[in-house]
Structure 1
């Protein structure tokens, strides 16, 4: 917490994903549980990158969602009324900045691309909001 307090809010705003990684107990590590194979994850990432390459093929210098402009954000990251409600609640509760809002939309578009979804769904937004853990009060405390 002491270290985190030294990092300025504007710097944190420029980081797309904030995830607290806690130690995993041995009992969890040793479980014989089926998980998604790395090859399947790689295939999903390649497919998402292809979706983005197609999306930005006519735009010079942009090849990924993270690079889109504010104008493109409004055109590409259209969300439903339910999504707007969720994002507004998160913005209010977490006291997020306009920059964090943009980052959440870009990350949610990428999550939707990974799911090969043409639309950003509420669950994509919810996941993207979860990746802003350093914005939450009391993080690591």
Structure 2
């Protein structure tokens, strides 16, 4: 790949981005690709690294969440937080961040809680998708049925 021309490398990177994000695979910077690239996105890296995150709330970053065992969560107090109004929708953004605190990474399934592209607009009700449930169960095990014993 070192001998690839920049145009060829760019096309391959676009194809990878489009495949991962379930977009039509064109290898071109088409309207759907540009729209997704310009959509607000979670600032957490897709692959956890040992390096810390910057603590500044800039460039659209409105929360910070750390993977276990750290588990910290910060909210930008300058943000216009809201529940279903015109501000930053607190519930889905918080649920996404808590997913990171629990150790969940990003999903490439649109509409899932852990999809990195603006959980507030992609999943405003903050419901767990089958992909989210599978991620939780792979980390913590399947649901254990409980029984009530009557005396």
TM-score, normalized by the shorter chain, greater than 0.5: no
1 or 2, which has the higher helix percentage?
1
Identify which of structures 1 and 2 has the higher relative contact order when contacts are C-alpha pairs closer than 8 Å and 6+ apart: 1
Instruction: Please tell me whether Structure 1 or Structure 2 has the larger radius of gyration of its CA atoms.
Output: 2
1 or 2, which has the higher strand percentage?
2
> TM-score, normalising length from structure 1?
0.28
> TM-score, normalising length from structure 2?
0.27
